[in-house]
Amino acid sequence: MSTTGKIEGIVSNLIKISVDGPVGQNEICYIAHDETELMAEVIKIDGDTIAAQVFESTRGLKVGSKVRFTGEMLSVSLGPGLLSKTYDGLQNDLQKMDGVFLTRGEYTDPLEKEKKWDFTPTAAAGDTVQAGSWIGKVKENWLDHKIMVPFDLSGTATIKTIVDEGAYTSDEEIAVIVDENGEERSLTMTVKWAVKEGITAYKNKPRPKKMFETGVRAIDTLNPIAEGGTGFIPGPFGAGKTVLQHALSMHAEADIIVMVACGERANEVVEIFTEFPELEDPKSGRKLMERTIIIANTSNMPVAAREASVYTGMTIAEYYRSMGKKVLLLADSTSRWAQALREMSNRLEELPGQDAFPMDLSAIISNFYARNGYVELPNGESGSITFLGTVSPAGGNLKEPVTESTKKVARCFYALAQERADSKRYPAIDPIESYSKYLEYPEVAADLDEKIQKGWSEMVFEMKDILLRGKESREQINILGDDGVPIEYHVIFNKSEIIDFAILQQDAFNDIDASTPIERQAYMVNIVMNICRNSFEFDNFDEVGGFFIKIINFLKQMNYQEFQSDDFKRIEKELMEHVETRRIDFSQKEKYADESLDMEAELEAKEAGGVDR
């Protein structure tokens, strides 16, 4: 007999329920309201009284309303038909809902139950299988969708029967397996999985060891992320977080894109709905939406479903990872997810932490980020989830709890700077504040050496050193004036500007510059660094700016040309001729390190001589 209960108290979307039987943490229950039932999740158990968060508006609910418990956790349906879908946080198919506004108590099937899929078996009767084993495949859009043994199978099983190649619905029986206890189990193309539990049907989960190519130079060149790695993008409003995520979804080397809009403003999500169906996938030539899943829980949708949406997105990503796919999971913005946690914690009257967030906020974020990663499957294949979340700190404050907690677990930090956004330097990733800890991994460094060129990690640190010294030089020039500092200050500042304009900045509206393959990135970086390592002769600071502006213009023109085309080579030749006009010794790389030696001493000497400030 299932457990039932009745409402004892209501605080916004938190309800207190007295029950007549056992219930479990995170169990789903339904509250009777007029002619419908509202879904809720148990979040706290205290004897015969439990607290549940309702995934709908609680307006109209009354004390005494009846509640029935399902005995099931908050789960998602996994099977063919997920791609190209737009879901809410509870995996309701938004395209199947009627009207402009969502109707309370309306829940839709996430999969196409009536559609027949062309099933091809890849296993045979008598084969031994385990959780996550591939037993067949269907074509989902243009991708192979693997049909797997349910992830809750314990131990091994033997396939008793499996259907022949043919067309079947996702709910039809396609195989029967016999487990180690001799019990038979019927399999369909669909499996259900609780979103709060990770799918662990893999053999091994080593730490990331390969570079994940994104096509965004500010990431790939300076702060590369690993396949199966974690990163986050904090930044103030208007700094370009959403646009950067769009660029990543289009050009990253991922098979599947899962976008979770967990609390973004509705107008930004509408842009996704209108733009994505029209975007061409540069990898396949088809529509990008054909390999994308969108989970939308905007800021004006129920706060409890906002929390569920991030887990729904991660579970779907884990499902495709078990097929051996490279999945890119994007969450925008995890700050709103944390705010949902804060609201529920406050309503439960729990002891608050910093800024009233839950005391265990750091642990919740850490546990969630830990579900991503690169995995080795039992059949010798591999899959990965590369997770990038955005954080929207109030006022751009990077010291607030969500940013700090995320910084502890994410290995890549891509800080968007308001100053760069205001000066139209996009993507506005701050090259000084941002970092990638994957550069410290010997396996990733070896992959960079093999995929790009030997010694790439060392070159990255060399570029960052130039950028840092360029920033310091700019500050001194701003304080003391153009003629108040040595010419070397202007030279090192302009060398940092070359890296900024030619490498870090990228035009998302240009078909060529929007995405840069690794081979081209390495080629351009070598040109830029060869220029930066050289010494040049100038009579005064006025000559410095004009010389380097021409260099920047040549390099920007090269970025807009087809790689190694006639125009590309012509501009490169003109660039080299221009560089030669003031080069002291192009092969004298040691001079690069000597340019700024004792710069402070020179400055002090000038000041002692009575420089007019």
In a domain, 206, yes or no: no
CATH number at residue 43: 2.40.10.170
pLDDT score, position 367: 95
- The three-state secondary structure class of 417 is coil
CATH number at residue 153: 2.40.50.100
3-state SS string over 263-328? Answer: CCCHHHHHHHHHHHHHCECCCCCCEHHHHEEEEEECCCCCHHHHHHHHHHHHHHHHHHHCCCCEEE
- Do residues 42 and 119 both lie within one domain? no
- Do residues 181 and 218 both lie within one domain? no
What is the domain extent for residue 22? 4-73
In a domain, 200, yes or no: no
In a domain, 339, yes or no: yes
Burial label for 57, CB within 10 Å (0-12, 13-18, 19+), is middle
In a domain, 369, yes or no: yes
- Do residues 470 and 573 both lie within one domain? yes
CATH number at residue 580: 1.10.1140.10
pLDDT score, position 240: 84
- Do residues 57 and 118 both lie within one domain? no
Phi, then psi, of 277 in degrees rounded to 5: -60, -20
- Do residues 360 and 405 both lie within one domain? yes
Radius of gyration for the chain, computed over Cα atoms and rounded to the nearest angstrom:
28
- Do residues 493 and 361 both lie within one domain? no
- Do residues 431 and 314 both lie within one domain? yes
- Do residues 64 and 114 both lie within one domain? no
Kindly report the pTM of this predicted structure. 0.91
In a domain, 496, yes or no: yes
In a domain, 512, yes or no: yes
Residues making up the annotated binding site for ATP are 235-242
DSSP 8-state symbol, 229? -
pLDDT score, position 611: 44
pLDDT score, position 606: 55
- The three-state secondary structure class of 441 is coil
User: Among the three residues 28, 56, 73, which one is the final residue of a domain in this structure?
Assistant: 73
Query: Which residue type occupies 199?
Result: I
Is residue 379 a contact partner of residue 323, using CB atoms and an 8 Å limit?
Answer: no
User: Among the three residues 45, 73, 101, which one is the final residue of a domain in this structure?
Assistant: 73
In a domain, 205, yes or no: no
- Do residues 461 and 581 both lie within one domain? yes
C-alpha–C-alpha distance, residues 220 and 222, integer Å: 6
Low-confidence ranges of the chain (pLDDT < 70): 1, 100-101, 264-268, 299-301, 585-613
pLDDT score, position 241: 83
Where would I find the beta strands (DSSP E) of 79-115? 86-87
- Do residues 178 and 226 both lie within one domain? no
pLDDT score, position 581: 94
- Do residues 500 and 557 both lie within one domain? yes
- Do residues 243 and 306 both lie within one domain? yes
pLDDT score, position 494: 97
In a domain, 31, yes or no: yes
Other CB atoms within a 10 A radius of the CB of residue 176 amount to: 17
CATH number at residue 262: 3.40.50.300
C-alpha–C-alpha distance, residues 338 and 263, integer Å: 10
User: Among the three residues 73, 91, 122, which one is the final residue of a domain in this structure?
Assistant: 73
Question: Cis bond leading into 427, ω under 30°?
Answer: yes
Other CB atoms within a 10 A radius of the CB of residue 360 amount to: 15
91 CB-near residues (< 8 Å, 6+ apart): 76, 77, 110, 295, 312
Residues making up the annotated binding site are 235-242
**For strand 382-391 and strand 230-234, is the pairing parallel, antiparallel, or unpaired?**
parallel
Q: Could you give the number of structural domains in the chain?
A: 4
